[in-house]
């Protein structure tokens, strides 16, 4: 659990897989180690926790890339999935609280964890739990999108480090192209628009995943997780061509995907 306490605010994290069980939420005091409010994640279902009890009938179905959050404000606890409220509770006795996560079955991890918009930097842990606080990766770049993506767009005037080569057709009829064997992007065969990016590094370093649309607009930015093999799931908002980049102190890696 977090070593800090709060009077109000929010907890937010990104679902990374749906193969494990864990509870994420808040404890109402320094001595109480029961998750009083939050989500009890069981596979692809996130059950509502209220007053320390898990509801078997109140839950949301989740998938990798979804964002769950719990907000405490004005004597209310609000539960959200991808920014949409799915449940709220009035709580009259809740005062100071702290973030906590309890792992059950399976080996899993969550990503993009923040409390009040800030990564948790100080944890108290028990058992076999590993915590990684990614370093910030600040990059200034210009993305050149050639005419192979959109005939109306001009070709780039600057050579790119990784140029686009062969293309692979995915199960959802999308294409992924590129020549960088250390950086792969694979589609979810059962869900259109969901992709998994993996970056293999000889020297482990923090890495940031960035996805740009055909106009150069940044549509996804998140930290990748793992050690020598970094991983991140992402979802594109619509069909079209996207440039996918993995950026670390070791260099920049690029793939291009065409979503049908």
Question: Which pTM was predicted?
Answer: 0.53
What length does the chain have?
A: 260
Same-domain pairing of 107 and 181? no
What is the C-alpha separation between 214 and 257, in angstroms, rounded?
10
What is the C-alpha separation between 35 and 94, in angstroms, rounded?
13
Same-domain pairing of 13 and 101? yes
In a domain, 67, yes or no: yes
Residue 28 backbone class (left: φ over 0; alpha: ψ -120 to 50; beta: rest): alpha
Same-domain pairing of 110 and 186? no
Out of 96, 115, 134, pick the residue that ends a domain: 115
In a domain, 180, yes or no: yes
In a domain, 20, yes or no: yes
What is the torsion angle, in degrees rounded to the nearest 10, for the CA atoms of residue 43, residue 47, residue 50 and residue 52?
A: -30
Q: Which residue range(s) make up the domain with 21?
A: 9-115
Q: How many CB atoms within 10 Å of residue 169?
A: 12
CATH number at residue 217: 2.60.40.1930
Out of 49, 83, 115, pick the residue that ends a domain: 115
Out of 80, 115, 150, pick the residue that ends a domain: 115
In a domain, 127, yes or no: no
Same-domain pairing of 103 and 184? no
pLDDT in tens, the chain (260 residues): 566 677 788 888 888 778 888 888 888 765 567 788 899 999 899 999 998 899 999 999 998 888 899 998 888 899 999 889 999 888 877 777 877 788 776 666 677 777 777 776 655 555 555 555 555 555 555 555 554 555 555 444 333 344 333 344 444 444 555 556 889 998 866 556 788 899 998 888 888 898 988 777 888 888 888 888 898 888 888 888 888 999 888 888 888 888 87
Give how many domains the chain has, as a whole number: 2
CATH number at residue 26: 2.60.120.920
In a domain, 201, yes or no: yes
């Amino acid at each position: 659990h977090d070593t800090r306490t709060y009077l109000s605010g929010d907890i937010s994290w990104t679902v990374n897989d749906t193969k494990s069980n864990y509870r994420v939420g808040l404890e109402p005091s320094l001595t109480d180690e029961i998750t009083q409010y939050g989500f009890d994640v069981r596979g692809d279902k996130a059950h509502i926790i209220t007053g320390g009890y898990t509801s078997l009938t109140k839950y949301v179905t989740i998938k990798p890339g979804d964002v769950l959050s719990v907000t405490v404000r004005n004597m209310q606890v609000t539960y959200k999935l991808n920014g949409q409220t799915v449940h709220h509770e009035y709580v009259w006795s809740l005062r100071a609280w702290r973030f906590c996560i309890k792992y059950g079955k399976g080996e899993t991890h969550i990503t993009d964890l923040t409390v009040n918009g800030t990564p948790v930097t100080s944890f108290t842990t028990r058992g076999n739990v590993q915590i990684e606080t990614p370093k910030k990766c600040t990059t200034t770049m210009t993305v050149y999108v050639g005419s192979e993506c959109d005939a109306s767009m001009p070709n780039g005037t600057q050579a790119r480090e990784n140029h686009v080569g062969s293309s692979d057709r995915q199960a959802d009829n999308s294409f992924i192209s590129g020549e960088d064997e250390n950086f792969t992007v694979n589609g979810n065969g059962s869900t259109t628009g969901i992709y998994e990016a993996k970056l293999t590094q000889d020297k482990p370093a923090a890495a940031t995943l960035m996805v740009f649309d055909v106009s150069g607009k940044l549509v996804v930015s998140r930290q990748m997780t793992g050690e020598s093999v970094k991983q991140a799931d992402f979802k594109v908002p619509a069909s079209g061509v996207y440039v996918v980049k993995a950026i670390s102190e070791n260099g920049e890696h690029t793939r291009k995907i065409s979503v049908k």
